[in-house]
Amino acid sequence: MEVTYLEAIHQALEEEMHRDERVFLLGEDIGVYGGAFKVTQGLLETFGPRRVIDTPMCEIAIVGSAIGSAMMGMRPVAEIQFADFMACAFDQIVNVAGTSFYRWRAAVPIVIRAPSGGGVRAGPFHSQNPEAWFCHAPGLRVVVPATAYDAKGLLKSAIRDPNPVIFLENKYLYRRIKEDIPTDDYVVPFGQAAVRRKGSDLSLLAYGAMVHEALAAAEVLEQEGIDAEVLDLRTLVPLDEETVLASARKTGKVVITHEASRTAGFGAELAALIAERAFDYLDGPVLRVTAPDTPVPYSPPLEDFFRPDAAKIAEAARRLAAY
């Protein structure tokens, strides 16, 4: 059945709520309104107000409530209306949820869903990509699906996982991509990257919306005689290090792309991993194609200039191929 990225997420929530009565949803406007992007539309009518809870506009309270209920045996899925506002709940996410099992063996099986990324002309307060914040915080899993199949399968895995999971949904993809996905129950395991396109000349590493830009760049490069491999990381924590290293060792040249700003972005961690464990196989420097170190512009032409895209990835790949 062909569904959008958004509908795949909706299906995962609905199916998991039917499967496990401990699963409930909480967040701003997710009930009566159906969510800012309509991901949760209809779930209030199906499951009632005790399992689809409209909350006050207070992210630290949303996450704190989710943590407390998880410690009491529930499986909360908290929606942060835009990923930017996770900063308001940073203390609860990083200092409480992320450390509780280490400190006193208290499992915190929560999922924090958050629409991230730009390309929708939403300006600097509604377009950020905060994944690196949470990759740096021990105890959290960080998931960034790029396809409808993965969005559903990874969200199901996240809800069933005993650890706190940051689940970043790229809002640009919500209604732009469709895919046939199984009608039967399935999950996508954490820590398994996907090779979306095999190649031999260089590797393009990406996640989220940038996977599609990397694939588009690879198509252009193929016409120029450059055979690019495209790797979709799927989960950043845990990271499939072996697949990343295997691709780097095979091609000897690596371009990393992410939509987040450059300095201390997750691409730097990937570059360090490759430098430490695959240096002898490299035939050129590891390159990064990222957003610059500025807030996300509201102006459409400026945002287009700001965001990485297939043309920018292809240009970096050409320079590396010629190195």
pLDDT of 213 reads 98
Q: Of all helices (H) and strands (E), which one includes residue 59?
A: helix 59-71
pTM comes to: 0.97
Cβ–Cβ under 8 Å, residues 59 and 83: no
Q: Exposed e or buried b for every residue in 226-243, given b needs 16+ CB within 10 A? A: bebbbbbbbbbbebbeeb
What integer best gives the mean pLDDT of the chain? 97
Q: How confident is the model at residue 152 (pLDDT cuts 50, 70, 90)?
A: very high
Who contacts 18 (Cβ-Cβ below 8 Å, separation ≥6)?
none
What dotted CATH number matches 194-321? 3.40.50.920
**pLDDT beyond 90 at 1:** no
170: nearest Cα among 204, 192, 193, 147: 147
pLDDT in tens, 99-149: 999 999 999 999 999 999 999 999 999 999 999 999 999 999 999 999 999
Confidence grade of residue 313 (pLDDT, cut at 50, 70, 90): very high
Q: How far apart are CA 190 and CA 208, in angstroms?
A: 15
CATH entry 3.40.50.970 includes domain 2-180 = yes
Query: What is the pLDDT at residue 239?
Result: 98
Task: Kindly list the domain boundaries of the chain, sorted by start residue.
Answer: 2-180, 194-321
Q: Would you state the pLDDT for residue 189?
A: 98
Among the listed residues 10, 126, 212, 258, the single catalytic one is 126
Tokens standing for 136?
């740096």
> CATH topology of 2-180 equal to that of 194-321?
yes
Q: Is the pLDDT of residue 21 over 80?
A: yes
- Which residue in this structure is represented by tokens 């730009």? 118
The answer to whether residue 168 scores a pLDDT higher than 90 is yes
Which residues are registered as beta bridge partners of 53? 26
Give catalytic status of residue 10 as yes or no: no
